[in-house]
């Protein structure tokens, strides 16, 4: 439960973080957008002011407004309460704007004092240069704002990805809890499964044998015993981990093949037992032949000879009205031992 609570706490912290970042980002993007708009106002308003001055119409209100906007863009203070964009290119253009705006105002004053063609031409030429610079300023502000949007998109993508991963972790944790709870209420799922091979273990085999002893079937059944050859050699030469893998792979072959026939379980370290109801000698021969085919296919994929599977098998088909299941297991064991002796430990 501690892990689950930890996930909940982390998700809550992330939610708060996202909320704070969202509000901060919205304010920042709104501020950036305002800067872009007012840069456009500087560009367009200056052109309007110059036209009016060239027509000898003084507009001090517009001139004062442009003064205030440029000051606010540079300082982040003033009437318009604009943010200062921390972008070197933009700030470079803004610094030039301040210088040229001061020069442009001098040219305006010159026209006002003497509206001669020479002064007007000087103002017009200066305004053209200023317009190009104001254009660059606006584009720089717009580019910065666009890059900030991309950064925010990436940040939220990362945070949302973290949300998804934490959510999946929470789901996995809950599912594990549900499975553990079911296993606790049904211990058969755990106590009767061999942890290494994933098939029924010796306890499950014994339980089945006891059940058959208590309620023997009137139909013929088969008991088939398997013993793997050369596992000790594999353990000694390639290590127990490799030996365990060979045993596990053989167990999987038995499980996949036996699902169409009957029960299979791990009877010992490298021994397995299969119990098949409504059996006949021909059925069991087909069953063993199918296992031989699967083992051959498996061995053909192994590069090392010691990793190949070899096994001995013995079986008995009988009626439980005539013989006990324990006696059948003993007879199957004798037959398996004879097969093992004949194979002389197989290819290993």
Full set of structural domains in the chain with CATH? 2-177 (1.20.120.230), 202-343 (3.30.70.270)
Kindly tell me if the per-residue pLDDT of 29 is higher than 70.
Answer: no
Residue pair 243/235 in contact by the 8 Å Cβ criterion: yes
From 234, 212, 252, select the one nearest 308 (Cα to Cα): 234
* Nearest-angstrom CA–CA distance, 57 and 74: 28
- What pLDDT does 239 receive? 92
- The helix-helix angle for 88-113 and 2-54 (nearest 10°) equals 20
Average pLDDT over residues 183-205: 78
Determine the straight-line distance between the first and last CA of the chain, rounded to whole angstroms.
Answer: 50
State the average pLDDT over residues 229-250: 93
What percent of the chain has a predicted confidence (pLDDT) above 90?
51
**Percent of the chain clearing pLDDT 70 (strictly above):** 85
What CA dihedral angle connects 52, 57, 58 and 63, to 10 degrees? -10
Give the tens place of pLDDT for each residue, 95-123.
999 999 999 999 999 999 999 999 999 99
Q: Are 202 and 265 in contact (CB under 8 A)?
A: yes
What's the predicted TM-score (pTM) here? 0.48
The mean per-residue pLDDT over the stretch 148-171 comes to: 76
Looking at the chain, the number of H-run helices and the number of E-run strands are 10, 4
Q: Is the pLDDT of residue 282 over 50?
A: yes
Q: What is the DSSP letter of 221?
A: E
Distance CA 250, CA 299 (A): 11
Q: Do residues 339 and 316 lie in contact, with contact meaning Cβ atoms separated by under 8 Å?
A: no
- Residue with the bigger pLDDT between 27 and 89: it is 89
pLDDT over 80 (residue 177)? no
Decide: 18 and 156 in contact? Cβ < 8 Å.
yes
What pLDDT, on a 0 to 100 scale, did the predictor assign at position 6? 66
The answer to whether residue 167 scores a pLDDT higher than 90 is no
Q: Answer with the residue of higher pLDDT: 196 or 149.
A: 196
Nearest by Cα to 55 from 102, 110, 118, 112:
112
Is pLDDT above 70 for 153? yes
**Among 111-115, 131-135, 312-316, 341-345, which stretch is predicted with the lowest mean pLDDT?**
341-345
163 within 8 A of 11, measured Cβ to Cβ: yes
Indicate the pLDDT class of residue 348, thresholds 50, 70 and 90: very low
């Amino acid at each position: 439960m501690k892990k689950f609570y930890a996930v909940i706490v982390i998700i809550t912290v992330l939610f708060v973080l996202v909320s704070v970042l969202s509000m901060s980002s919205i304010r920042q993007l709104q501020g950036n957008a305002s800067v872009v708009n007012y840069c456009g106002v500087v560009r367009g308003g200056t052109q309007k002011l110059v036209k009016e001055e060239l027509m000898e119409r003084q507009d001090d209100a517009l001139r004062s407004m442009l003064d205030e906007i440029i000051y606010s863009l540079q300082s982040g203070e003033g009437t318009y309460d604009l943010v200062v964009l921390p972008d070197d290119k933009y700030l470079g253009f803004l610094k030039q704007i301040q210088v040229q705006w001061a020069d442009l105002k001098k040219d305006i004053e010159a026209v006002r004092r003497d509206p001669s063609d020479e002064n007007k031409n000087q103002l017009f030429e200066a305004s053209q240069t200023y317009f190009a610079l104001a254009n660059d300023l606006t584009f720089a502000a717009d580019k910065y704002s666009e890059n900030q949007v991309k950064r925010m998109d990436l940040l939220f993508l990362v945070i949302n990805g973290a949300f998804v991963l934490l959510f999946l972790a929470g789901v996995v944790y809950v599912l594990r809890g549900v499975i553990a709870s079911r296993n606790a209420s049904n211990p058969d799922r755990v106590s009767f499964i061999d942890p290494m091979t994933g098939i029924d273990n010796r306890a499950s085999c014994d339980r089945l044998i006891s059940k058959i002893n208590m309620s023997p079937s009137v139909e013929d059944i088969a008991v088939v015993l398997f013993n793997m050859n050369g596992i000790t050699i594999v353990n000694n030469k390639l290590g127990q981990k490799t030996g365990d893998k060979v045993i596990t792979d053989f167990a999987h072959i038995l499980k996949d093949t036996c699902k169409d026939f009957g029960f299979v379980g791990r009877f010992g370290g490298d021994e397995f037992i299969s119990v098949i109801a409504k059996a006949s000698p021909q059925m069991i021969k087909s069953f063993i032949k199918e296992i031989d085919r699967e083992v051959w296919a498996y061995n053909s994929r192994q590069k090392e000879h010691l990793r190949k599977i070899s096994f001995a098998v013995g079986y008995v088909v009988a009626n439980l009205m005539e013989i006990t299941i324990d006696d059948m297991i003993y007879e199957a064991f004798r037959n398996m031992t004879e097969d093992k002796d004949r194979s002389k430990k197989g290819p290993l």
